[in-house]
């Protein structure tokens, strides 16, 4: 595996750590900025919205720039946003800072995944994507707890300074370890980049990815209250359970990465079916602590870990260039927003286990979006089996 692939994972780790830092420091930031807890929560929404809608626009600006230069430019924008957050004197400045970092983060995902495709052979691309996406998994597993620890010990501003330092380290590693590649074949032309989106199948593929992530985040967003108020765990135990969940995502991501190159659709189908079962099982047995943990870990193994298969499927349907990757990441972010928002609405009407049922329903819908591909593949296998028989008659 090229060294540069691991460096790209480090960059994504920095981006994801910045994305989740607010969630762990809400009370401190509310006090420091003179804001309410809901207002601090809106900073997460602002970051996600900036990723979903601003990332592709920034990526268009970077189309004619070499990948490494684009990555370094995005590090500079990301660093500026984090420094602005660390020095913010009011809530409005913090909103601007989160929008800047959100836009840069999404565009970074698109360029990094495109560069990963350039650096690796097609037969190992799914495995390479899994390595890059482990930056996302480790950001969830380690980034948020570490930034929360720094913020609690030294103040919430110190957490943003720490992320800024991490971004500088990742940028220096990129400068030293990522080769100067030319723009990918066919990239750089805006009209040609847009041409990929004329394929109706691509939109169905993007919808599947959105549903996979939406199903998972409808549950993940509310693990804390479900585990404490329904499953009966102590508040101090929940962080340990979330670390275990994060470890499950790292394991699942690695396994999916090794399988995605062969048949990403089959991997996603299996993952969605299992996730629907785990989510429904969690909803039914949430009041029992041991089954609750088992099903939660199951969700970790087959939820966001579908990323390597999702990305491989998008590349095979359209291309591996930055704009397609960034738009795909935007659909994933919209899935996060739909899952977390829908879960909150469901709780208001049906109680704390409702997000789990919502997640199961989204996973089932995701399975349905895969059926056309599965039917086509089955028909192709039947045709290939019939033709040799006809040839011998």
Question: What six digits make up the tokens of 158?
Answer: 């110190």
Residues 266 and 212 occupy one common structural domain: yes
Residues 231 and 336 occupy one common structural domain: yes
Residues 19 and 161 occupy one common structural domain: yes
Question: What pTM value is reported for the model?
Answer: 0.84
Q: Note whether 218 and 354 are within 8 A (CB).
A: no
Q: Note whether 82 and 164 are within 8 A (CB).
A: yes
Handedness of CA 211, 95, 221, 155 (dihedral sign): positive
- pLDDT tens-digit series, residues 231-261: 999 978 887 888 899 899 999 999 999 999 8
Residues whose CB is less than 8 angstroms from the CB of residue 388 and which lie 6 or more positions away in sequence, other chains included: none
Residues 56 and 200 occupy one common structural domain: no
Domain range for 297 = 192-393
Residues 148 and 241 occupy one common structural domain: no
Has residue 391 got a pLDDT over 80? no
Residues 236 and 385 occupy one common structural domain: yes
Structural domain total, the chain:
2
Residues 175 and 203 occupy one common structural domain: no
Residues 268 and 145 occupy one common structural domain: no
Give the CA-trace dihedral at 150, 20, 10, 106, to 10 degrees: -150
Phi, psi of 374 (to 5 degrees): -65, -40
- pLDDT tens-digit series, residues 175-192: 999 998 877 655 556 777
Q: Note whether 313 and 110 are within 8 A (CB).
A: no
Residues 36 and 4 occupy one common structural domain: yes
Q: What pLDDT was estimated at residue 221?
A: 79
Residue 105 maps to which CATH number?
A: 1.20.1250.20
Model confidence band, residue 85 (pLDDT cutoffs 50, 70, 90): very high
Neighbours of 391 (CB within 10 A): 7
Residues 25 and 83 occupy one common structural domain: yes
- pLDDT tens-digit series, residues 355-365: 999 999 999 99
Domain's final residue, options 132, 165, 188: 188
State the DSSP string of 256-289: HHHHHTT-HHHHHHHHHHHHHHHHHHHHHHTTSH
């Amino acid at each position: 595996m090229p060294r540069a692939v691991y460096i790209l994972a480090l960059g994504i780790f920095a981006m994801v750590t910045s994305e989740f830092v607010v969630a762990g420091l809400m009370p401190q930031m509310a006090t420091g900025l003179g804001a309410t807890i809901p207002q601090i929560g809106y900073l997460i929404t602002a970051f996600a919205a900036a990723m979903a809608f601003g990332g592709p626009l920034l990526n268009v600006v970077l189309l004619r720039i070499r990948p490494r230069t684009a990555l370094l430019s995005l590090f500079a924008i990301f660093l500026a946003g984090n420094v602005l957050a660390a020095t913010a004197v009011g809530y409005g400045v913090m909103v601007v800072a989160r929008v800047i970092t959100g836009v840069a983060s999404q565009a970074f995902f698109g360029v990094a995944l495109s560069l990963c495709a350039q650096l690796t052979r097609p037969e190992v691309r799914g495995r390479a994507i899994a390595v890059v996406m482990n930056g996302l998994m480790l950001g969830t597993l380690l980034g948020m707890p570490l930034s929360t620890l720094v913020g609690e010990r030294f103040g919430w501003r110190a957490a943003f300074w720490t992320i800024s330092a991490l971004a500088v380290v990742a940028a220096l590693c990129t400068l030293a370890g990522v080769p100067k590649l030319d723009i990918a074949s066919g990239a750089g032309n805006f009209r040609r980049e847009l041409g990929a989106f004329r394929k109706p199948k691509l939109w169905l593929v993007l919808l599947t990815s959105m549903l996979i992530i939406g199903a998972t985040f409808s549950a993940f967003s509310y693990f804390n209250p479900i585990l404490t108020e329904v499953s009966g765990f102590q508040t101090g135990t929940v962080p340990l359970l979330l670390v275990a969940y994060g470890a499950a995502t790292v394991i699942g991501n690695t396994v999916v990465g090794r399988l995605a190159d062969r048949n990403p659709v089959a991997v996603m189908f299996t993952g969605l079916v299992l996730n629907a079962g785990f989510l429904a099982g969690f909803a039914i047995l949430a009041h029992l602590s041991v089954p609750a943990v088992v099903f939660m870990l199951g969700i970790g193994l087959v939820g966001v870990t579908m990323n390597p298969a999702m990305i491989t499927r998008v590349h095979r349907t359209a291309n591996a260039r930055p704009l397609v990757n960034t738009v795909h990441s935007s659909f994933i972010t919209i899935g996060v927003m739909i899952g977390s928002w829908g879960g909150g609405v469901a709780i208001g009407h049906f109680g704390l286990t409702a997000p789990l049922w919502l997640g199961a329903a989204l996973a089932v819908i995701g399975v349905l979006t895969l059926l056309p591909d599965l039917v086509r593949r089955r028909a192709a296998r039947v045709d290939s089996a019939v033709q040799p028989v006809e040839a011998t008659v």
